[in-house]
Amino acid sequence: MKKVFIHGSQLDRYPYPESCPFKTHRAGMVRQKLTSMGLLRGDDKAEVVPVRADRTLLEQFHTPAYLDAIIRANEGHFETEMLYMGLGTGDCPVFRGMYDYSAWAVGATVTGAEEILAGRAAIVFNPSGGYHHAFSDHAGGFCYLNDVVLGCMTLAKAGKRVLFLDIDVHHCDGVQAAFYDRADVMTISTHQDGRTLFPGTGFVDEIGTGEGRGYSVNFPLPIGTYDEVYMKVIRQGVLPLIHAYNPDVIVLEIGADTLAGDPLAGLAMTNNTCADVINLLLAFGKPILTVGGGGYNVDNTVRAWALVWSALCGEQREQDAFAGMGGVMLETTDWQGGAGLRDRVLIPADEQRKTVVPFLEEILDQVRRTVFPIHGIRQK
């Protein structure tokens, strides 16, 4: 089955205000880079233009009153009560095109889910998705409509067991809330500790309720988290949960705001973790629907997401021996295909290790004590 890249010119038409750090043109830049590198060519790859989400689809999650408010704001009408819905804030400014863009972004993720359900794709990437902070009745964190929730709902309504893994630097508060009492969608989030970063949620004790108890899992990360220790969290914390849950489909949010130097966050990772996580997920043999998310150093984000596509297409596993030799080190992507997209390896300082390692060991221990037993995972 094909690897499908989701994009359309409609997604390039609606920029956020210039003063906003969220840049919608990143996805188009990713497509341009992939095209220039020949990474969209091949019989096993396809580009699909999304279908815009209509009101009926959006109302499967969002309230009519909230949608009415966004549409009015989209048309240039601002009312004070919209502030109570998170509209008109620094993170979620009101501008013409906000509803149009968000409807296309939701449509792109749902289109990807439908490609998987129809059996036309095993791998899908929508770099214009990942709006995980939107709730049913309010906006937050640059997110107006929640494409992730609606994509997961589309899969779950078709009877699929869905695993949502979010490795964006911010906690997926909107997605977690949507499925907090459900067991047909498990949410796992690795993110910077909510005590040091928006949205201030995503602690280990947030494990779900009712039928959903144990199906919301959080790994808060300390400032300065680096590749080696992060991949330990993935291998020892995340992978056992995926094995135990045994999903039919994996939905992955792969925000590039975890990278060292991102202006809005404080982790110290390279884009090598993006490829490494994907390679581990591919081993499960499940369809993967991937969405973008954050990433506020645009050049780094574009390179990371080009690497994400390369890894999703299986073109990184053969090149892992060359990791760290391309990308930033050679200051070019014209090297060994997708391998040249990788960052150079960053060596953590001794003081960084002394701070980060004990913190994450405790987080792993807490998850093992509180969540692993619910799923029958035996501790070694």
Show which residues are catalytic. Answer: 133
CB distance 128 to 214 below 8 Å: no
Q: What are phi and psi of 126, to 5 degrees?
A: -115, 95
d(CA 331, CA 341): 9
CB distance 298 to 262 below 8 Å: no
**What does the block give as tokens for 173?**
């508060």
d(CA 162, CA 45): 24
Close Cβ partners of 100 (under 8 Å, ≥ 6 residues apart)? 10, 13, 14, 74
CB distance 317 to 301 below 8 Å: no
With the CA atoms of 10, 105, 113 and 127 taken in that order, what torsion angle do they form, in degrees rounded to the nearest 10? Answer: 90
CB distance 327 to 340 below 8 Å: yes
User: Is the torsion defined by CA of 162, 106, 48, 158 positive or negative?
Assistant: positive
Which residue from 108, 100, 102, 128 is spatially nearest to 29, judged by alpha carbons?
A: 128
d(CA 217, CA 166): 10
d(CA 156, CA 287): 14
DSSP letter assigned to residue 209 = -
Pairing of strands 216-221, 45-48: unpaired
Tokens 């059996």, residue? 119
CB distance 282 to 250 below 8 Å: no
Give the helix/strand (H/E) hosting 162. Answer: strand 162-166
d(CA 280, CA 234): 9
Pairing of strands 162-166, 185-192: parallel
